[in-house]
Amino acid sequence: SLDWGYTDDNGPSTWAEKYPLAAGARQSPVDIDTSKATSDNSLVDREIDWSYPSNCSYRIVNTGYGWRVDTYGDDTALSGGPLSEVYKLEQFHCHWGATNDEGSEHTVDGKSYAAELHLVHWNSEKYSSFKEAASQPDGLAVLGVFMEIGNADNAELEKIISLIPKIIHKGQDSQASFDLDFGSLLPESKHYWTYLGSLTTPPCNECVIWTVFKEPITISERQLEVFRSLKSVGEEDAIEPEEGKLVKNYRPPLPLGNRVLRECGP
Ligand SMILES: CCN[C@H]1CN(CCOC)S(=O)(=O)c2sc(S(N)(=O)=O)cc21
Ligand SMILES: [Zn+2]
């Protein structure tokens, strides 16, 4: 069985037993208490800036904890906002719940969204590898995008969702070179909250500068159901057809503690 996961016997409340960092004071996600957000001048003139290729080859993989798209981040760049260096895109993935009233990892004044997209970048200016960066306090920069249920499909996400039937079981992957317009995976408004946090899964390294956009993007119920059809077990694991479905893979919020929560934009 998995040594950590999202079920009652291996879920977030048990992680600190095997992954002591999970009990740290700089953990993610957090509830974004909008009344605590400060808008100091340090961010207002430093828009967060990204450049992603419009056509690139990708690999989508079922990690057993969800789907993950590995990007070969050569000509990608994320800078500005709370970042002092240029970060490269390493991968992106998503978190969701069993029903639409849960699923995001960050919450806003106690409100959960149906899902949350994470674009994971690493500080390639200061560190020589993603792995090294993941052990540094300013090593990773993750963009969090809330997803709410809307009537229309999200066309860009559909390119990813169409590949999910090929990776239903843990360990399966699919190579695809599709032209992904990352810009449309991000909301129109660049307004965001930012704080210092961690990976939201084991090993829970406290290495992430988090930037969570205020405006959600929309995804359809059908698209979210496809996410929930993923399995957390391999093809060879003999289980009943309905068992092992990845219906939820989000960590509930941890205390912000004495960390500063900054915001850019109303
Ligand atoms: C299931 C495993 N998830 C993690 C795998 N990696 C960590 C170790 O790598 C060297 S990672 O850096 O790619 C990230 S980012 C991330 S989140 N949800 O905070 O954006 C979780 C993980
Ligand atoms: Zn994540």
With a Cβ cut-off of 6 Å, ligand 1 is lined by 63, 65, 91, 118, 120, 131, 134, 142, 199-201
Whether the CA torsion 244, 249, 255, 257 is positive or negative: it is positive
Pocket perturbation via mutation, ligand 1, pick of 143, 201, 230 by most ligand atoms within 8 A of CB: 201
CB 142, CB 120: distance < 8 Å: yes
At residue 224's C-alpha, the angle toward residues 221 and 230, to 5°, is 145
Neighbours of 225 (CB within 10 A): 12
Over its length of 266 residues, how does the chain's per-residue pLDDT go in tens digits? 679 999 999 999 999 999 999 999 999 999 999 999 998 777 766 789 999 877 677 899 999 999 999 987 668 999 999 999 999 999 999 999 999 999 999 999 999 999 999 999 999 999 999 999 999 999 999 999 999 999 988 998 999 999 999 999 999 999 877 778 877 899 999 999 999 999 999 999 999 999 999 999 999 999 999 999 999 999 888 777 777 889 999 999 999 999 999 999 87
Query: ipTM of this predicted complex?
Result: 0.98
For 42-74, letters b (16+ CB in 10 Å) and e give ebeeeebebebbeebebbbbbbbbbbbbbbebe
At residue 30's C-alpha, the angle toward residues 26 and 34, to 5°, is 120
Neighbours of 88 (CB within 10 A): 21
| Cα–ligand 1 centroid distance for 177 (angstroms) | 23
| Cα–ligand 2 centroid distance for 226 (angstroms) | 18
| Cα–ligand 2 centroid distance for 200 (angstroms) | 6
| Cα–ligand 2 centroid distance for 43 (angstroms) | 24
Give the side-chain half-sphere CA count within 13 A for 7: 12
- In sequence order, what E strands does 15-114 have? 31-32, 48-51, 56-62, 67-71, 77-80, 88-96, 107-108
Shortest-distance atom of ligand 1 to CA 122: 12
Shortest-distance atom of ligand 1 to CA 205: 7
